[in-house]
Amino acid sequence: MPAQDAAGAAPGAQRREIERLRVLVEASKLINSSIEPSVLYTSIVSLARDHLGVERGTLYFVDEARREIWARIPAEGDVSEIRLPMFKGIAGTVGATGETVILDDVSTDPRFDSSIDRRSGYQTRSMLCVPIRNRSQKIVGVLQLLNKRVGTFGKADLEFLELISEHVAIGMENATLHLSLLEKDRMQQELSLGREIQGRLLPEPPRGIAGTEIAARSVACFEVSGDSYDFLALPSGSLGLSIADVSGKGVAAALVMSSLQAALRVAAPLDESPARLAARLDRLIREMTTGRKYVTFFFGCYSPSEGRLRYVNAGHNPPLLLQDGQAIPLPGTGVPIGLLPNATWTEADVVLRPGATLVLYTDGLTEACSSGDEEFGADRFAALTSTLAGRSAPEVIDGILDAVTAFEAGSRPADDKTLVVLRREA
């Protein structure tokens, strides 16, 4: 008789193992059929509904960075997203603590939010809420199942969910990675568009100014730049020219620069005092960035007939005036704008004699580094520009950029590079 029992038990154990494997294969195929979160949600909830006999379910993803759980749920041909803070409600608590919750009567648990039932007209009676863990036991999601049709939630339900949990976790991690790649691609497209738009905001150097040749170029180290230059026709007949560099790099710097450029184009024609212009722009930058960003800024009013340049240098790299065989720096006349409250600026002036060249630049050129981390430096930059005296404005820019690029020798640029060159013809 014992032998018969053992023989009879063996086929039963085999059938259970075969069934277990069948469920695993079915679950794996269903879960891995898509990496779209809303499709994954439908697959897993359908699996739980078929094998556990529940009415409804929700699959939440854990967002550690935002300390939230979230789900994408198909609804009337669309997909709606819901988000809950960690420790909020039963699902949020399970996501935070990793403790399974089984409720035969949800009304007995104060964490249950009955307002959702009141809005939807659905009545939640019982609930099983379990954490989804990956192979390293990290919680990647929460599965919440509602209203078991027959009986109550118990050991067999937990065993089934434990059986498929690792497959669910893999599917959820693949879906999260898919979303990250989609978001990265979207951001790259946005940045590329931003770079295109920003490039259009930088004007072409003016042509046809008597006795004057101007060239300009800006090379961003990332998709968008914190450097800027501009040329403005002023009511007096002078030419306004500027160069600026926002502290930091990337999107934030580019946004500040765009606002500065817009304000400059409005304010400069109203008052041709470079010092008062710096004060106006300073107030704008401080209000906009609350002290978290500042801008080095050079603005000059150039009279082509006289060669006179009235300027303010708000903490910017000293432009170099190539004249009489020298590279003469135009030093600062005040601090960067947006840096200090109650700052003031003074105005200076200089005369460009026929044949003189003025070189405006940003620190991405002087701070360019070789592969051995040696900086190009202000002295080397001044010596380089001196060798280019007498050449055309475009040739000066080409000569500087070629020399700096060769110095970097393939190392990744760390900052934007911008040049404006004005030459008074002999």
Domain, as residue range, for 315? 199-424
Within a domain: 313 = yes
Residue with more model confidence, 75 or 167? 167
Grade residue 101 by pLDDT with cuts at 50, 70 and 90.
Answer: very high
**Mean local confidence (pLDDT), 374-383:** 94
pLDDT more than 90, % of the chain? 47
Regarding whether 396 and 334 lie in a shared domain, the answer is yes
- Tell me if the pTM is above 0.85: no
pLDDT of residue 16: 57
Q: How many CB atoms neighbour CB 216 within 10 A?
A: 23
pLDDT of residue 21: 63
pLDDT of residue 17: 59
Residue 406, token pair as written in the block: 């060769």
pLDDT of residue 318: 97
Residue with more model confidence, 204 or 251? 204
Regarding whether 236 and 165 lie in a shared domain, the answer is no
Regarding whether 371 and 245 lie in a shared domain, the answer is yes
Structural domain ending residue among the three candidates 144, 179, 214: 179
The β-bridge relationship of strands 417-424 and 212-219 is antiparallel
Distances (CA, A) of 404 to 142, 364, 378: 55, 10, 12
Q: How many CB atoms neighbour CB 371 within 10 A?
A: 11
Residue 98, token pair as written in the block: 């990793």
Distance between CA 426 and CA 169 in Å, rounded? 74
- Nearest CA to 220 out of 413, 420, 421 is that of 413
pLDDT of residue 334: 96
Within a domain: 211 = yes
Is the pLDDT assigned to residue 58 strictly greater than 90? no
Burial of 158 (0-12, 13-18, 19+ CB in 10 A): middle
Residue with more model confidence, 256 or 205? 205
Within a domain: 185 = no
Is the pLDDT assigned to residue 394 strictly greater than 50? yes
Is the pLDDT assigned to residue 4 strictly greater than 50? no
Grade residue 73 by pLDDT with cuts at 50, 70 and 90.
Answer: confident
Grade residue 19 by pLDDT with cuts at 50, 70 and 90.
Answer: low
Residue 127 backbone phi and psi in degrees, to 5: -150, 140
pLDDT of residue 35: 63
Flag the least confident range among 1-5, 47-51, 161-165.
1-5
Regarding whether 103 and 243 lie in a shared domain, the answer is no
Within a domain: 186 = no
Residue with more model confidence, 348 or 181? 348
Regarding whether 102 and 37 lie in a shared domain, the answer is yes
pLDDT in tens, 102-135: 999 999 999 998 887 888 788 999 999 999 888 8
Regarding whether 243 and 169 lie in a shared domain, the answer is no
**Mean local confidence (pLDDT), 280-307:** 91
- Nearest CA to 247 out of 292, 191, 197 is that of 292
Within a domain: 189 = no
pLDDT of residue 136: 84
* SS3 per residue for the chain: CHHHHHHHHHHHHHHHHHHHHHHHHHHHHHHCCCCCHHHHHHHHHHHHHHHHCEEEEEEEEEECCCCEEEEEEEECCEEEEEEEECCCHHHHHHHHHCCCEEECCHHHCCCCCCHHHHHHCCCCCCEEEEEEECCCCCEEEEEEEEEECCCCCCHHHHHHHHHHHHHHHHHHHHHHHHHHHHHHHHHHHHHHHHHHHHHHHCCCCCCCCCCEEEEEEEECCCCCCCEEEEEEECCCCCEEEEEEEECCCHHHHHHHHHHHHHHHHHHHHHCCCHHHHHHHHHHHHHHHHCCCCCEEEEEEEEECCCCEEEEEEECCCCCEEEECCEEEECCCCECCECCCCCCCCCCEEEECCCCCEEEEECHHHHCCECCCCCECCHHHHHHHHHHCCCCCHHHHHHHHHHHHHHHHCCCCCCCCEEEEEEEECC
Most confident of 23-27, 131-135, 218-222: 131-135
Question: Tell me, what CATH number does 228's domain have?
Answer: 3.60.40.10
pLDDT of residue 347: 96
Regarding whether 241 and 155 lie in a shared domain, the answer is no
Residue 229, token pair as written in the block: 């230059």
Residue 343, token pair as written in the block: 């700052």
Distance between CA 324 and CA 332 in Å, rounded? 22
Grade residue 81 by pLDDT with cuts at 50, 70 and 90.
Answer: confident
Regarding whether 225 and 92 lie in a shared domain, the answer is no
Please state, rounded to an integer, the average pLDDT across all residues of the chain.
Answer: 85
Regarding whether 353 and 220 lie in a shared domain, the answer is yes
Structural domain ending residue among the three candidates 130, 150, 179: 179
pLDDT of residue 1: 43
pLDDT of residue 393: 96
pLDDT of residue 409: 86
Within a domain: 187 = no
**Mean local confidence (pLDDT), 372-401:** 94
Contacts of 84 (CB under 8 A, 6+ apart): 60, 68, 69, 70, 91, 92
pLDDT of residue 403: 95
Regarding whether 246 and 164 lie in a shared domain, the answer is no
pLDDT of residue 72: 77
pLDDT in tens, 31-57: 665 667 667 767 777 777 777 888 988
Question: Tell me, what CATH number does 137's domain have?
Answer: 3.30.450.40
Grade residue 6 by pLDDT with cuts at 50, 70 and 90.
Answer: very low
Is the pLDDT assigned to residue 222 strictly greater than 50? yes
Most confident of 69-73, 244-248, 305-309: 305-309
Within a domain: 87 = yes
Check residue 341 and give left, alpha or beta (phi > 0: left; psi -120 to 50: alpha): beta
Q: How many CB atoms neighbour CB 134 within 10 A?
A: 16
- Nearest CA to 142 out of 89, 180, 103 is that of 89
194 contacts 223 by C-beta, under 8 angstroms: yes
Distances (CA, A) of 36 to 77, 100, 184, 219: 15, 26, 16, 39
Within a domain: 193 = no
Is the pLDDT assigned to residue 392 strictly greater than 70? yes
Regarding whether 289 and 398 lie in a shared domain, the answer is yes
Is the pLDDT assigned to residue 239 strictly greater than 70? yes
Count the domains in the chain: 2
Regarding whether 48 and 124 lie in a shared domain, the answer is yes
Is the pLDDT assigned to residue 3 strictly greater than 50? no
